[in-house]
Amino acid sequence: PKTIYLQDYTPFGYIVDDVHLTFDLAPNATRVTSRIAFRPNPDAEDTRFFLHGEGLTLISARINGEEVDPELSPEGLVLDVPALPFIWECEVEIDPANNTALEGLYMSNGMYCTQCEAEGFRKITYYPDRPDVMSTFTVRINGDLPVLLSNGNKGDSGEAWAEWHDPWPKPAYLFALVAGELIAHPGTFETCTGREVELNLWVRPGDEGKCAFGMDALKRSMRWDEEVYGREYDLDIFNIVAVDDFNMGAMENKGLNIFNSSAVLASPETSTDMNFERIEAIIAHEYFHNWTGNRITCRDWFQLCLKEGLTVFRDSQFTADMRSAPVKRISDVIDLRARQFPEDNGPLAHPVRPESFQEINNFYTATVYEKGAEVIAMLRRLVGDAAYAEALDLYFARHDGQACTIEDWLKVFEDVTGRDLTQFKRWYSQAGTPRLSVQDDWDDAGTYRLTFTQSTPPSVASPSPQPQVIPVAVGLLAPSGEEVAETRLLEMTEATQSFDFTGLPERPVPSILRGFSAPVILEREVTTEERAFLLAHDTDPFNRWDAATALARTTLNDMALHGAAPDPAYLDGMCRVLGDDGLDPAYRALMLALPGQSELAAAQADAGHRPDPMAIWTACETLRQALAEQAAEMLPALFEACQVTEPYSPDAEQSGKRALGGALLALLTRLDGGARAEDQYAKADNMTLQLSALGQLIRAGKGDAQVEAFYDQWQGDRLVIDKWFMLQVVQSTPDQAASVARKLTEHPDFNWKNPNRFRATLGALAGHHAGFHAADGSGYSLLAEWLIKLDPLNPQTTARMCAAFQTWRRYDSDRQALIRAELSRIAAQPGLSRDTTEMVTRILG
Ligand code: HT7
Ligand code: ZN
């Protein structure tokens, strides 16, 4: 496959002024007629007229009304065209019913829908399918279906036809069309200037009862973007459609967002608190793209973080405002460490702005999204809140309607602050997670010195990384526990750099990297006593939580590697946290959670060990059991205090209580043989309680009856049945995980062509650390077998799931050989997709 390079960017030779599309819908033979006004681009040197097009049957093509005969290739067409403005007209035929890749125009449960990002529009018609070509669109849909939707504002409509006009120039990746038997959950929103916007959440019949929360989240997002970023919505209507077959979470098409039904449909009976929170965040994310992504888009796909990093940063701010800021920050860092750190420190490492790719779909990664958001958080920390707000205002004013680059983005910050961001830009161009080591010195004259050294491991993507700008937030505590120096932001720019704190009465205890002020790995030898001290006294909620995880990590690694007993400092510290009513229940639940097992394996590998997944699993089980036993007396009353008596609400307060209740139930089940879980399961009137009880019963080996009852109760609800598939794998023992997953793949409801069901089963196996890495290779071979089967139908989802193998070099030689064999088996498949080929090749290195 061909590699595409950032440095090779050149503008398209033609400007598109206007696009008219007509769709004559038919499942196997949809006709797409386009009429497009082109004119030569004065800024372009390359005047070749190339239009992307894949899998299209060309029926006819005309220039200025004259029939033409373009040269066709599997990638598109080329034609000699006049050096003057001209009208291109073309008719193609496509087959949505047989489009299983879920890219372009496809069908899901009888409904037509589209997914065009990143390069799906070329599967709909011939077009310059690149984000820097922006145009207004007018669309006519002819189809005998009750609901016919596209981008923009409503135009005329009649029996079996409808027109839409989008006045805002957009790239083709934001095009959308939906047609089907759908029901609207309506709403309205009055913008800050008093304009009324029609809102609709379109769902399949039967899902009407799951729309209220999504609609409310949409309205809150619209208001928040006005209040916090000064961004008003810009069309008369905003539509959201829920689709069952979808490769990702959702898509921000202009005025017509399309959502994976799992990312928008919610009801207390069928959705967990976590589902509600995720839905709220995704609705906000897609809505916020209207300005960061749609009005200002990307010049090319290398700039993807321009819209994704910024929009993730904005949706995190939104969630922090709607819920608890510390809980959101901690959850984001858990996610970053679990998903982005392995990517940044393995064979798939790439900069936040990659410099080359073969298949862009493989770069919708945690690095581009989550590290991209962390880079913006750092920028904001460095310039301050006021300058950040000013820079964003300038960004919107200067670049509205444009397709931009990271250089444009950084320039607004330079212009507003006068700072030189040349070195900061390395966060966009260098791969790898910097390691930050710390040394401290105390002199009796009252000066405390912190010396930091940064180093980033070289990778294929960045063979010789240079020092980066690292904002390190530090506070100091007196040995009595009092804060003696409030949080100060140290700006590190050198490879090694010292910072002094003067006038201190005694040697302080440092609290370093408060709020996780930079996406780095802090390497500092800290005693158990010091961690326990920070756990008890740190005023920074993030670092207090981090002290708890670090204590857990240390004891778990000692247990797994050296057969040590659980550290009493961890157990005592946790008992104190548990009993501290002054702490938010959601925060206590996070404190109680153990670090991920894959993360423990990464830490062991970093320290030069070969992690044993089974030993890690056993250490986690032993530690949980020890905590349950030590806290035994306090658990029942604490559990009681977490019971919510008010009617269900997915708000932060109630869901925090249920989160802590769930963590306590997990401990109690280790002591009471499942009695409380059975009781909770029997009485549960919401999915959060029902599922947490079911999970504990399965884990305790006592859930057979409830597993069956749950299936019978929810058989008709595909999103709940996804949970049923997933939970059985997640809660299985390591020796059983692969066989449980295999058995589920034989279940009649295992519709493997549906990405949600596929991920619920095989994604859950890949996420079960000890189960996936079972020594006999059963986890590896099951996943590989299914990836091979899925690839010809859905390359995007297949390729994404290959990432499960990315950490293979951490493990012992037997496991390495097993994984290599599976990767080679995948690579050897005839006709393997470009997506999967690229992933497997990069992982193998
Ligand atoms: N911008 C979107 C990313 C995306 C996508 C979504 C659905 C299916 C395929 C997709 N390829 C890329 C979603 C977002 O980040 O908001
Ligand atoms: Zn996005």
Question: May I ask the CATH class of domain 715-845?
Answer: mainly alpha
592 lines ligand 1 (CB under 6 A): no
Q: Region 408-432: what's the mean pLDDT?
A: 99
- What would be the CATH architecture of the domain defined by 435-525? Sandwich (2.60)
- The DSSP code for 845 is -
315 lines ligand 1 (CB under 6 A): no
Indicate if 435-525 has the same CATH topology as 4-259: yes
Asked whether the beta carbons of 82 and 58 are under 8 A apart, the reply is no
How far does the centroid of ligand 2 lie from the alpha carbon of residue 246, in Å?
Answer: 15
Q: What's the chain's average pLDDT? A: 98
Residue 547 has pLDDT above 90, yes or no: yes
Active-site residue set: 286
pLDDT number for residue 382:
98
Amino acid occupying residue 284: A
Residue 398 has pLDDT above 90, yes or no: yes
Distances (CA, A) of 340 to 126, 608, 783: 36, 21, 21
Q: Region 679-694: what's the mean pLDDT?
A: 98
Q: How far apart are CA 614 and CA 372, in angstroms?
A: 34
* Nearest atom within ligand 1 for CA of residue 258: 7
Q: How far apart are CA 731 and CA 617, in angstroms?
A: 12
Hey, where are the domains in the chain?
4-259, 297-429, 435-525, 715-845
Asked whether the beta carbons of 37 and 4 are under 8 A apart, the reply is no
Tokens in use for 87? 């009208």
pLDDT band per the 50, 70, 90 thresholds, residue 360: very high
List helix spans (H) across 584-736.
585-592, 597-606, 613-630, 635-641, 652-672, 675-683, 687-699, 704-714, 718-730
Which residue carries 């029609």 as its tokens? 198
Which tens digit of pLDDT belongs to each residue from 285-313? 999 999 999 999 999 999 999 999 999 99
The span from the first CA to the last CA of the chain, in angstroms, equals 16
- The DSSP code for 679 is H
Asked whether the beta carbons of 567 and 554 are under 8 A apart, the reply is yes
Q: Region 391-418: what's the mean pLDDT?
A: 99
Residue 451 has pLDDT above 90, yes or no: yes
Q: Region 795-823: what's the mean pLDDT?
A: 98
pLDDT number for residue 1:
86
Distances (CA, A) of 98 to 118, 427, 512, 683: 20, 42, 55, 45
Residues with a beta carbon under 5 angstroms from ion ligand 2: 308, 311
- Residue 38, class by beta-carbon neighbours within 10 Å (0-12 exposed, 13-18 middle, 19+ buried)? buried
Report the percent of the chain where pLDDT is more than 70. Answer: 100
245 lines ligand 1 (CB under 6 A): no
By most ligand atoms within 8 Å of CB, the mutation choice from 245, 364, 370 for ligand 1 is: 364
Tokens in use for 228? 């916090």
pLDDT number for residue 787:
99
Q: How far apart are CA 219 and CA 196, in angstroms?
A: 12
Q: Which helix (H) or strand (E) holds 530?
A: helix 528-537
Q: How far apart are CA 74 and CA 72, in angstroms?
A: 7
3-class DSSP assignment, residue 701: coil
117 lines ligand 1 (CB under 6 A): yes
Q: Region 56-75: what's the mean pLDDT?
A: 98
Which tens digit of pLDDT belongs to each residue from 505-546? 999 999 999 999 999 999 999 999 999 999 999 999 999 999
Which tens digit of pLDDT belongs to each residue from 67-119? 999 999 999 999 999 999 999 999 999 999 999 999 999 999 999 999 999 99
Q: Region 332-360: what's the mean pLDDT?
A: 98
By most ligand atoms within 8 Å of CB, the mutation choice from 102, 116, 117 for ligand 1 is: 117
Question: May I ask the CATH class of domain 297-429?
Answer: mainly alpha
141's CB contacts (< 8 A; 6+ apart) are 22, 23, 25, 148, 149, 150, 161, 162, 163, 164, 177, 179
Please give the ipTM for the structure prediction: 0.98
Which tens digit of pLDDT belongs to each residue from 660-669? 999 999 999 9
The half-sphere exposure of 504 on its side-chain side, counting CA atoms within 13 A, is 26
660 lines ligand 1 (CB under 6 A): no
Which residue carries 């036993």 as its tokens? 629
Q: Which residue(s) pair with 140 in the sheet?
A: 22, 163
User: Between β-strands 196-203 and 237-243, what pairing exists: parallel, antiparallel or unpaired?
Assistant: parallel
Distances (CA, A) of 48 to 39, 300, 484, 500, 621: 13, 18, 67, 61, 63
Fold of 4-259: Immunoglobulin-like (2.60.40)
pLDDT number for residue 661:
98
Tokens in use for 429? 């161009």
442 lines ligand 1 (CB under 6 A): no
Q: Which residue minimizes the CA distance to atom 12 of ligand 1?
A: 117
How far does the centroid of ligand 2 lie from the alpha carbon of residue 363, in Å?
Answer: 12
pLDDT number for residue 218:
99
Q: Which helix (H) or strand (E) holds 31?
A: strand 30-40
Which ligand places an atom closest to the C-alpha of 306?
A: 2
Q: Region 456-475: what's the mean pLDDT?
A: 97
Q: How far apart are CA 811 and CA 616, in angstroms?
A: 13
Q: Which residue minimizes the CA distance to atom 1 of ligand 1?
A: 251
Residue 128 has pLDDT above 90, yes or no: yes
Sheet-wide strand order for 147-150: 104-108, 111-115, 177-180, 147-150
Asked whether the beta carbons of 91 and 33 are under 8 A apart, the reply is yes
Q: Which residue minimizes the CA distance to atom 13 of ligand 1?
A: 251
User: Between β-strands 86-94 and 66-67, what pairing exists: parallel, antiparallel or unpaired?
Assistant: unpaired
Q: How far apart are CA 334 and CA 596, in angstroms?
A: 9
3-class DSSP assignment, residue 21: strand
Asked whether the beta carbons of 364 and 304 are under 8 A apart, the reply is yes
Closest among 620, 611, 613, 501 to 549, alpha carbons compared: 620
Asked whether the beta carbons of 181 and 109 are under 8 A apart, the reply is no
How far does the centroid of ligand 2 lie from the alpha carbon of residue 250, in Å?
Answer: 8
Tokens in use for 256? 């017509």
Phi and psi at 91, nearest 5°, equal -125, 130
Distances (CA, A) of 170 to 94, 130, 134, 252: 23, 11, 4, 12
Asked whether the beta carbons of 660 and 585 are under 8 A apart, the reply is yes
∠269-273-278 over CA atoms, to 5°? 115
Report the percent of the chain where pLDDT is more than 90. Answer: 100
Residue 718 has pLDDT above 90, yes or no: yes
